[in-house]
């Protein structure tokens, strides 16, 4: 395992600043736009931090960051941290309506990053990454003093009410989450982060690597989509750690196993890890560590992890045991510990939890509750909505969701949010969205009931949804039925719709 640096850092940017002091000339970030060394990365971030402070950024306020897969986006994230504020990453391809919703909840007054049009959509002032301070040279900048319990970032995820919700993460939680990785995974020399910087999964590899002075590699969009290009990147960049979705790794291993042979560690999450993929991994590259990670955004990137071996017989693979700073339990409906092997709901607790939801006090109180155990006074518990059981070895095994939330390409998607958007179309009388699993991962299928004389086809409905939802939330298939099937209790039969997702009703014409 890796050497743990003695930083004493209580904030995320202090952790990275300490690494830059140790290896100032090493490459910190390698991306399609440029490669940036540690000293230059920190200097640019500090200059941006000064510009943001001058523009009005303050501790525990939020600054939007327009992000893509670039080194400039990383500089922007760190610049907000050096300003003492908290960042809200916003993908540059988000619809303007969704940007406005995020900006409203986060009260964004400033936006930085790679695209000024995001600031325009948010109704905020744009502060360029290499702005006045970068042009004028840098006088000494002292970042504002902030407490570890102040916000570091907020990640907006899908919301069942039709509006995204922001999960607020403190410096204490993300620093704890980052340093907890030191005792689990080998030290990374070059860490390929496949997740987009707009979601929390990217924070794992990004900050783990930057805290230790390694090299973060951000593949371009083409490399993410094309296994051949990704294989070439792994070889050319001498990647030691690959972090992504099981479906992404399956494509790489299926077509280019030789490229995986040079890896040291593969970390997968965001989707269920199929047992056949583990068997293929053990057959092709048994010397490479394979870890199965689990954790909602509310638990600061991860909550449990399991190193997979040939002893894992399946069909479900364990998601492991809790990481430092968190406790994972399976509880019954009465909040009693479930017996080994008994299915219950997964609850997480400990200092690694998020602060709660931004501007959603009622939702925070509903999902984050006080721990009833008198031996843990003041501790909070988070109700995940995930189902699982504890196996004989004491490891957590994931079963699925108790509600209508799914993961699509690593993004958390509330199906109810998509349905609410579709119902806003004047020709849609009813709509249900169900997941359909295939070789390339989960696709969404929209089953619609349209007005009798409706002229809307799949193209129009998709365009209507695209103006309101991010691309990963758009249905891939559209079906039309005269009426939604109901259970004996009169509720929509979602299980039947999911089982018949590609054959129910008739295909909606383009």
Instruction: Report phi then psi at 87, rounded to 5.
Output: -95, 150
Tokens for 8?
A: 């004493």
Asked, for residue 112, whether it belongs to a domain, the answer is yes
- How many whole angstroms separate alpha carbon 436 and alpha carbon 448? 16
Q: Which of 87, 114, 146 lies at the terminal end of a domain, its last residue?
A: 146
Q: What is the pLDDT of residues 361-384, one digit of tens each?
A: 999 999 999 888 788 888 899 999
Is 389 a member of any domain? Answer: no
Q: Which portions of the chain are predicted below pLDDT 70?
A: 1-9, 133-140, 160-162, 439, 489
Cα 86 from Cα 64, distance rounded (Å): 9
**Total number of domains constituting the chain:** 2
Any idea what the CATH number is for the domain that residue 419 is in?
Answer: 3.30.300.30
pLDDT value of position 315: 84
Degrees to nearest 5, angle at CA 15 with 32 and 180: 95
Domain assignment of residue 417, yes or no: yes
Q: Rg (Cα) of the chain, in Å, rounded?
A: 23
Q: For 16-38, give one letter per residue: b (16+ CB within 10 A) or e.
A: bbbbbeeebeebbbbbeeeebbb
**The two three-digit tokens of residue 453, written as one number:** 């004389």
What integer pLDDT is reported at residue 1 of this predicted model? 44
> Of the candidates 151, 171, 149, which has an alpha carbon nearest to the alpha carbon of residue 13?
171
Q: Tell me, yes or no, whether 129 lies in a domain.
A: yes
Residues 29 and 41 sit within 8 Å (Cβ to Cβ): yes
Structural contact between residues 110 and 64, judged by C-beta atoms closer than 8 angstroms: yes
Domain around 448: 407-507
Q: What pLDDT sits at residue 24?
A: 97
Q: Which residues on adjacent β-strands are paired with residue 505?
A: none
Distance CA 123, CA 237 (A): 40
Selection from 296, 282, 194, 203 nearest residue 245 by Cα: 194
List pLDDT tens digits, range 420-460.
Answer: 889 889 999 889 999 998 767 789 999 999 988 888 889 99
Residue 83 lies in a domain: yes
pTM of the model: 0.86
In a domain, 387, yes or no: no
Separation CA 250–CA 277 (nearest Å): 7
pLDDT of residue 412: 83
pLDDT for residue 73: 98
Nearest partner of 26 among 153, 180, 212, judged by Cα: 212
Position 493 scores a pLDDT of 86
Cα→Cα distances 440→265, 436, 490, Å: 22, 11, 34
471 within a domain of the structure (yes/no): yes
Residue with tokens 């095994």: 397
Q: Which of 99, 121, 146 is the last residue of a domain?
A: 146
Question: How many H helices and E strands in the chain?
Answer: 17, 27
With respect to residue 19, please indicate whether it lies within any of the assigned structural domains.
no
Check the CA dihedral 374-379-380-386 and report its sign.
Answer: negative
CA dist 89 and 67 (Å) reads: 6
**Residue 110: CATH number of its domain:** 3.40.50.980
- Which residue among 110, 126, 146 closes a domain? 146
The sign of the dihedral angle between the CA atoms of 432, 497, 493, 403 is negative
CA distances from 472 to 126, 273, 434 (A): 26, 20, 14
Q: Provide the H-helix boundaries in 340-390.
A: 361-367
Task: State the Cα–Cα distance between residues 37 and 389, nearest whole angstrom.
Answer: 45
Tokens found for residue 248: 């992404």
Half-sphere exposure of 393 (CA within 13 A, CB side): 11
The Cα 30–Cα 189 span in angstroms is: 12
């Amino acid at each position: 395992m890796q050497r743990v640096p003695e930083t004493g850092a209580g904030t995320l940017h202090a952790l990275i600043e300490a690494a830059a002091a140790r290896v100032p000339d090493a490459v910190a970030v390698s991306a399609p736009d440029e490669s940036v060394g540690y000293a230059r990365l920190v200097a640019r971030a500090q200059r941006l931090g000064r510009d943001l402070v001058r523009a009005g950024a303050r501790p525990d306020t939020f600054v939007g960051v327009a992000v893509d897969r670039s080194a400039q986006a990383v500089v922007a994230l760190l610049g907000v941290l050096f300003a003492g504020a908290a960042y809200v990453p916003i993908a540059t391809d988000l619809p303007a309506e969704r940007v406005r919703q995020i900006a409203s909840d986060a009260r964004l007054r400033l936006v930085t990053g790679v695209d000024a049009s995001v600031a325009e959509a948010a109704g905020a002032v744009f502060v360029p990454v290499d702005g006045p301070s970068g042009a004028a040279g840098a006088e000494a900048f002292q970042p504002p003093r902030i407490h570890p319990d102040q916000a570091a970032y907020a990640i907006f995820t899908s919301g069942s009410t039709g509006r995204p919700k922001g999960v607020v993460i403190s410096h204490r939680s993300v620093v704890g989450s980052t340093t907890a990785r030191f005792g689990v995974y080998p030290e990374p020399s070059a860490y390929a982060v496949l997740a987009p910087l707009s979601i929390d999964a990217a924070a794992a590899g990004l900050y783990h690597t930057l805290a230790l002075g390694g090299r973060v590699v951000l593949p371009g969009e083409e490399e993410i989509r094309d296994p051949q290009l990704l294989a070439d990147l792994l070889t050319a960049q001498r990647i030691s750690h690959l972090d992504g979705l099981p479906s992404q790794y399956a494509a790489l291993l299926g077509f280019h196993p030789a490229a995986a042979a040079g890896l040291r560690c593969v970390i997968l999450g965001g989707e269920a890890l199929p047992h056949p993929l583990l068997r293929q991994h053990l057959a092709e590259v048994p010397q490479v560590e394979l870890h199965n990670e689990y954790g909602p955004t509310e638990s600061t990137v991860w909550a449990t992890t399991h190193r997979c071996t040939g002893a894992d017989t399946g069909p479900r693979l364990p998601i492991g045991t809790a990481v430092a700073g968190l406790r994972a339990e399976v509880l019954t409906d009465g909040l009693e510990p479930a017996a080994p092997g008994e299915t219950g709901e997964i609850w997480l607790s400990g200092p690694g939890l998020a602060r709660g939801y931004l501007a959603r006090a009622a939702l925070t109180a509903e999902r984050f509750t006080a721990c009833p155990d008198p031996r843990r006074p003041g501790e909070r518990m988070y109700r995940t909505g995930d189902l699982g059981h504890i196996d004989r070895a004491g490891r957590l095994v994931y079963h699925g969701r108790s509600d209508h939330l799914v993961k699509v390409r690593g993004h958390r998607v509330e199906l109810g949010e998509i349905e609410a958007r579709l119902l806003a179309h004047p020709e849609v009388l009813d709509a249900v969205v169900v997941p359909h699993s295939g070789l390339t991962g989960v696709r969404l299928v929209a089953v619609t009931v349209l007005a009798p004389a409706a002229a809307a086809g799949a193209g129009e409905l998709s365009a209507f949804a695209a103006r309101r939802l991010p691309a990963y939330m758009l249905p891939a298939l559209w079906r039309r039925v005269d009426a939604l099937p109901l259970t004996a209790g009169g509720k929509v039969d979602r299980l039947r719709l999911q089982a018949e997702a590609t054959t129910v009703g008739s295909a909606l014409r383009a």
